[in-house]
Amino acid sequence: MLHSLIVAGLAATAAADCGRDFLKSATAAYVAAQKAGQSAAVSALGTSANFIFLENNQVTDFKSSTLSKPIKIDVDRSIHDTVQCATFTELIAASNPHPYVIHTRMVFGADHKAALIESIVTDQGDWLFNATGTLELNRPEKWDPIPKEKQDSRAVVQSLGDAYFNRFGNVSVTVPWGAPCYRLEGGLPARGELKGDDCVMVWPSTIIVPYRRYIVDEDLGAVDVFVGFPGLDRTQGQLPMPDSHLFRVEGGKIKYCHTASACVKEGCGLNGTTFGRRDLGLKYRPKPLEF
Ligand SMILES: *[C@@H]1O[C@H](CO)[C@@H](O)[C@H](O)[C@H]1NC(C)=O
Ligand SMILES: *[C@@H]1O[C@H](CO)[C@@H](O)[C@H](O)[C@H]1NC(C)=O
Ligand SMILES: *[C@@H]1O[C@H](CO)[C@@H](O)[C@H](O)[C@H]1NC(C)=O
């Protein structure tokens, strides 16, 4: 059911092409709505047929979603995909009483109505979650628009996101990566080793990462990939968990990578306080992907 709805939503928009100004107004409306806890401003974006709103992979009622709570946001960053008529927004709320890191993608139809809005809402107890750490690492990063003559093609930008995930299941895949050589995983910098201009990261190589949904913005050299990440929550076996990775690409190499990964159980089944305790009562607990 979920699958067919999402596929319908995506199919409806595959041919849509729309302007950056429209997409920017949509992400601005989304960020303002989350700050104010005014979910109605976001639900109003999506009145097209087959519209679906997901939070942590669950069909969600706007009125009881995280969007209905006012959240003090320290950093918001959006990318805009004019080919797919889609957007991605990263929200970091470290100084909110309840810290969050939220990744949201919105897909619009040719009628400029949202067909799909989905959020990965992470908080204490999710994979390496630390909003303060996320904020500190994020702040010095530069995500300025890339001059036209220096931009990588859409295909190249997207292929680097794919290379990253392909490498989890294939040790022979090369992932072009440059300085500063860390991935911001939850709130921790997972650092690689810089050899010359190349960042060498250590990876597992037995994990096939399915359900990839892309948002690409060549102007920013950015691709975000929503995936299902198998084995992330040890209490769920190999079921794919809701996960999003945002990449900044410059000169054909990954420069930055930010992750948001949601677990069903606090601590992701790692039997410790590694990721802190969760007692914060999210209504929509993350569910494994199954579409
Ligand atoms: C979160 O990150 C901040 C900033 O790096 C650090 O000071 C703090 O100890 C971290 N908290 C946990 C629980 O790891
Ligand atoms: C693994 O990656 C290499 C290098 O890109 C590629 O040639 C090979 O076909 C891949 N293997 C599988 C099973 O996908
Ligand atoms: C966590 O503890 C449970 C119960 O003791 C055990 O079955 C499980 O294998 C442990 N998981 C990990 C990842 O250590």
Domain ranges across the chain: 2-141, 148-269
- The protein residue whose alpha carbon is closest to atom 5 in ligand 1 is 133
CA of 23 to the centre of ligand 3 (A): 45
- The protein residue whose alpha carbon is closest to atom 8 in ligand 1 is 133
Mean local confidence (pLDDT), 103-123: 94
pLDDT the model gives residue 272: 59
Kindly give, in sequence order, each residue whose CB lies less than 8 Å from that of residue 135, ignoring residues fewer than 6 positions away: 74, 75, 92, 94
Q: Is the CB of 187 under 6 A from ligand 1?
A: yes
Among 186, 5, 35, 38, smallest CA distance to 107 is for 5
Which DSSP category does 82 fall into?
T
Q: Is the CB of 133 under 6 A from ligand 1?
A: yes
Query: How much helix, strand and coil, in percent to the nearest 5, is found in the chain?
Result: 25, 30, 45
Between the two ends of the chain, the Cα-to-Cα distance in Å is 8
Which DSSP category does 145 fall into?
P
Residue 208 tokens, joined: 């096939």
- The protein residue whose alpha carbon is closest to atom 12 in ligand 1 is 130
Percentage of the chain exceeding pLDDT 70: 88
- Confidence band for 286, pLDDT divided at 50, 70 and 90: low
- The protein residue whose alpha carbon is closest to atom 5 in ligand 3 is 271
Matching CATH number, 148-269, of 3.10.450.50, 2.40.30.130, 3.40.630.30, 3.30.70.360: 3.10.450.50
Least confident of 119-123, 160-164, 269-273: 269-273
CA of 188 to the centre of ligand 1 (A): 8
CA of 60 to the centre of ligand 2 (A): 38
Which atom belonging to ligand 3 lies closest to the Cα atom of 270? 13
Q: Answer for the pair 76, 91: CB distance below 8 angstroms, yes or no.
A: yes
Q: Is the CB of 136 under 6 A from ligand 1?
A: yes
For residue 81, what are the β-bridge partners? 86
For residue 226, what are the β-bridge partners? 213, 244
CA of 285 to the centre of ligand 3 (A): 21
pLDDT the model gives residue 280: 47
| pTM score of the predicted model | 0.89
Q: Which of 238, 271, 274 to mutate to test the pocket of ligand 3 (most atoms within 8 A of CB)?
A: 271
| CATH code of domain 2-141 | 3.10.450.50
Least confident of 63-67, 93-97, 273-277: 273-277
- The protein residue whose alpha carbon is closest to atom 13 in ligand 3 is 270
- Confidence band for 189, pLDDT divided at 50, 70 and 90: confident
User: Same CATH topology for 2-141 and 148-269?
Assistant: yes
**Is 80 exceeded by the pLDDT of residue 40?**
yes
